[in-house]
């Protein structure tokens, strides 16, 4: 039976691939979606028609129409902007007393701490809800969510978060879930780069890649990335679920944490360099599996500098 919410009307800020499907999922579960906003106005308008919500032209309007606002934006700069941390005239914390903001973007731990401080000053509440999943899971309500922030605030929105997730972990105070998410993506990105190199070397030495992937899956070379990306790397199918640009950004967050802790992280550094190279070559909107385009011998030739 679908759960009807008599208390909370939800708003969504950022309705791209993830945010739009999270909103659809919660609408299916009986939650009222009161307002949606996106910097791409047409995306917000289309989703608003679909969900019976209002497409807002101002962030403060989303806050006014919602009790709980879910944000799914790209990076620290976007997060600072929507919360008015750099003196933007229109932002989510206008008349925000009593509102709860659930922030799902992968940003720096400090970014979440800055938002929490500003929310408290506005007599509002914020939580980080870091996602270790992709588009399909957003639509199905099977996200892996890692929560950071005030546990009492988490309890208030826990029923809603459970409708979005198959696994819901409260990690600790503000910034702690963001640390975990940065490490999850750092390791995932390293695994992805390693798999691309293994498959590229297999092809270059004449091995059958389907057989190689099967053997990988039965030995110490197995990984979740092999399951999700191995065949796509072989077949050059890089439809975007998690972009190379986001992989570069998230590896950068982890490297910043490493520097703060006084650690040298050579594998993470090399992996970020590969994803940065994809972005520089105009491949940043390919899925992270597109890193194989830089490692398979014949494919990589297309991306070598022309002779000077």
Give 10-residue mean pLDDT values along the chain (308 residues): 60 96 97 97 97 97 98 96 96 98 96 98 98 93 98 97 97 97 97 98 98 98 96 96 95 97 98 98 97 96 74
Q: Which two structure tokens, joined as six digits, stand for 250?
A: 């998230």
Question: In the CATH hierarchy, which fold is given to the domain comprising 179-301?
Answer: 1.10.1040
Q: What is the CA radius of gyration of the chain?
A: 21
Q: What pLDDT sits at residue 134?
A: 87
Q: What pLDDT sits at residue 7?
A: 57
**Distance (Å, rounded) from C-alpha 123 to C-alpha 153?**
13
Q: What pLDDT sits at residue 304?
A: 81
Contact 154, 127 (CB under 8 A): yes
pLDDT tens digits along 284-301:
999 999 999 999 999 998
**Distance (Å, rounded) from C-alpha 142 to C-alpha 6?**
23
Give pTM, 2 decimals: 0.91
17 Cβ contact partners less than 8 Å away, ≥ 6 residues apart: 135, 138, 240, 241
pLDDT tens digits along 247-270:
999 999 999 999 999 999 999 999
Q: What pLDDT sits at residue 179?
A: 97
Contact 96, 125 (CB under 8 A): no
Residue extents of the structural domains in the chain:
9-174, 179-301
Q: What pLDDT sits at residue 306?
A: 63
Q: What pLDDT sits at residue 308?
A: 54
Q: What pLDDT sits at residue 56?
A: 98
Q: What pLDDT sits at residue 62?
A: 98
CATH of 9-174, one of 3.90.1300.10, 3.40.50.720, 2.40.50.100, 2.60.40.10: 3.40.50.720
pLDDT tens digits along 32-77:
999 999 999 999 999 999 999 999 999 999 999 999 999 999 999 9
Q: Of 114, 134, 115, which Cα lies nearest the Cα of 71?
A: 115
């Amino acid at each position: 039976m679908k759960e009807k919410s008599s208390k909370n009307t939800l708003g969504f800020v950022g309705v791209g691939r993830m945010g739009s499907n999270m909103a659809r999922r919660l609408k299916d579960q009986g939650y009222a979606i009161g307002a949606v906003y996106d910097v791409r106005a047409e995306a917000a308008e289309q989703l608003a028609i679909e969900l019976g919500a209002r497409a807002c032209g101002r962030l403060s309007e989303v806050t006014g129409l919602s009790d709980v606002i879910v944000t799914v934006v790209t990076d620290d700069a976007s997060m600072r902007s929507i919360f008015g941390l750099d003196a933007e005239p229109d932002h989510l914390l206008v008349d925000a007393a009593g509102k709860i903001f659930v922030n799902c973007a992968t940003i720096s731990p400090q970014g979440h701490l800055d938002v929490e401080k500003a929310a408290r000053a506005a007599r509002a509440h914020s939580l980080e809800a870091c996602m270790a999943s992709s588009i399909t899971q957003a639509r199905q309500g099977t996200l892996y969510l890692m929560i950071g922030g005030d546990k009492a605030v988490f309890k208030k929105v826990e029923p809603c978060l459970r409708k979005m997730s198959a696994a819901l972990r409260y990690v600790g105070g503000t910034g702690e879930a963001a640390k975990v998410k940065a490490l999850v993506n750092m390791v995932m990105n390293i695994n992805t780069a390693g798999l691309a190199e293994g498959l590229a070397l297999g092809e270059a030495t004449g091995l059958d890649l389907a057989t190689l992937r099967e053997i990988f899956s039965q030995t110490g070379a197995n990984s979740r990335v092999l399951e999700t990306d191995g065949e796509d790397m072989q077949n050059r199918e890089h439809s975007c679920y998690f972009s190379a640009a986001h992989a570069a950004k998230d590896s950068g967050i982890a490297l910043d944490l490493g520097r703060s802790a006084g650690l040298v992280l050579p594998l993470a550094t090399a992996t970020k360099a590969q994803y940065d190279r994809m972005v520089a070559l105009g491949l940043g909107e390919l899925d992270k599996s597109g890193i194989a385009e830089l490692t398979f011998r014949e494919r990589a030739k297309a991306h070598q500098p022309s002779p000077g």
